Amino acid sequence: MNDIRSLIRITAFIILLTCISEVAKSQSTDSVFTLKSSIEYSLKNNPSSTIYNNEVEIARQKNIQALSTYLPQIAGNFTIDYNPMLQTNIITVGGMEQTLRFGQSHANGAVVQVDQKIYDQSAIEAISARKVNNEIAQLNILKNNEALIYNTSLAYYQVLIYKEQEKLLRENEKQYKELLDILKLQYDRGVIRKIDYDRTRVSANNITSQITLIQTNQTLALNRLKNAMGMPLETTIRIEDSSYTQTKADLPQAAQLNLENRLDYQIMNQNILAQEIDVRMKKAAFAPVLAAYARYGSNSFGPEFATSFNKWYDYSAIGVKLSVPIFSGFNKSSQLKQSRLALINARENAKLSMQNYKLDYENANTKLLSSYTSLNKDKENMELAKEVFETTNLQYRQGTASLTDFLNADYSLKEAQSNYINSLLNFMSARVDYEKSQGTLPAYINQL
């Protein structure tokens, strides 16, 4: 019995060690992401990347479809006809009308025909649109990548800001714990009043509650980051230390807006080109279509189905066909008018878009400069408030400052820290918006 109990204890101990080992292993293998690696993951794994890559393939297949209209078209037909009543014809012979019936009850036919367009202006215009369609598809991929970079960056920065907030709160929590230990001794000895000790405990508890809230917000922000990256939400990840935010808080060099850098502008111009080609295609629909064809076939006839396949009669033809559109019930003219109006609208929308691009840049530049100024002021103010708090804290411990002075200095420090954190997030968001308005967001991220 003792041996069995010993075996059970050993087994339980081994299982416990295995569980601890697995937990430690899972914790040590948590993926650590930088901003760059987050963006790289997003570009590779976000479902939208697959969608836009498929759009490129769709554009390629449409190009093949457009080109196929000028390639030979080969078709084959095989028919089996049964004529219950043969057609009756009347001929006149020697002034007398005679009734004749032509054909057989069973007729079979097989034919192969090759058609080759010689001239079709509408098809030529469709083929010329291939390059534009490819360019639009490629630009849409870059535009989607830019959107992924933008969303991932903002989500990543939000997590970093929460980490910075938690770091500051942890420092405050540590100071309060040290202070509470001292105040507890003073209270036990009757040096201070209970109300002074309780007021300090309230402030310490508030910090603990704020840390809990920040941790919750950080978890939510991590989920938003994983969602932006296209990562399963159940995946456990960590990001690099929030000191990253302080080393990147700088202003870019002054630059003029170059619309050619904006993907929206490039896509807009390509769409206008595509619409111009569509107008030409609608015009070309009024032009004649010239085509050549070659046909080879064979027929067989018979009064009975079984004997109708016994003998075949071959025939062939080579010719040229000119199709001239005369009247289509105003269908083609209506399509041409619609296409022309769509082109006018595209050009007018381009004018509006260009103004919006300039407005985006001016607003982003103004926001960036303002947030940078606020960030520096709030950072300086936070450092000053920290010095005041440390001095007041020391004086309070020495008995030369009141608890009210200490709590006021503490409140000022927390307010300054909160303002700094908000300014830091505003600046980092403004920097991303600025680079996006310039069309240089991917290049900016690559140099980080």
For residues 288 and 122, give the distance between their C-alpha atoms in angstroms, rounded to a whole number: 10
Asked if residue 339 has pLDDT above 80, the reply is yes
Average pLDDT over residues 1-17: 47
- In terms of Cα–Cα distance, which of 110, 68, 79, 80 is closest to 295? 110
- Which among 68, 78, 62 has a CA at the least distance from the CA of 116? 68
- Per-residue pLDDT, averaged over 337-341, amounts to 96
Average pLDDT over residues 259-284: 94
pLDDT-based confidence at residue 350 (cuts at 50, 70, 90): very high
- pLDDT at 324 (0 to 100): 93
pTM: 0.81
Residue-level pLDDT at 329: 86
**What local confidence, expressed as pLDDT, does residue 359 receive?**
95
CA pair distance 123, 129, nearest whole angstrom: 10
Residue 401 corresponds to which tokens in the numbers above? 């400052």
Say whether pLDDT at 135 is over 90: yes
pLDDT band at 248 (very low <50, low <70, confident <90, very high): low
Work out the angle between the directed axes of helices 130-188 and 331-398 (0-180°, nearest 10): 20
pLDDT at 407: 85
Residue 263 has pLDDT above 90, yes or no: yes
The sign one gets for the Cα dihedral 102, 107, 111, 117 is positive
What pLDDT shows up at residue 240? 78
Cα distance between residue 143 and residue 391, in whole Å: 53
317 Cβ partners below 8 Å, 6+ apart? 293, 294, 295
In 10 A of CB 341, how many CB atoms? 11
Contact 257, 355 (CB under 8 A): no
For residue 319, the cross-strand partners are 293
pLDDT above 90 coverage of the chain, percent? 57
| Residue 438: band (very low, low, confident or very high) from pLDDT cuts 50, 70, 90 | very high
Q: How confident is the model at residue 85 (pLDDT cuts 50, 70, 90)?
A: confident
* Domain covering 30-70+120-287+325-446 assigned CATH 1.20.1600.10 in the classification: yes
Euclidean distance between the first and the last CA atom of the chain, given in angstroms as a whole number: 67
pLDDT at 256 over 80: yes
- For the ranges 152-166, 174-188, 340-354, which has the lowest average pLDDT? 174-188
pLDDT at 7: 42
Residues 271, 342: contact at Cβ < 8 Å? no
242-271 mean pLDDT: 80
Banded pLDDT at 246 (limits 50, 70, 90): low
3-state secondary structure of 417: helix
Rounded CA-CA distance 20/26 in Å is: 10
Specify whether the CB–CB gap between 229 and 38 falls below 8 A. Answer: yes
Beta-carbon contacts of 238 under 8 Å, excluding residues fewer than 6 positions away, are: 30, 31, 32, 33
Cα 172 to the chain's mean position, in Å? 41
pLDDT of residue 436: 94
User: What is the mean predicted confidence (pLDDT) over 115-123?
Assistant: 92
Q: What is the token pair recorded at 339?
A: 């296409």
pLDDT digits (tens, 9 = 90+) for 363-381: 999 999 999 999 999 999 9
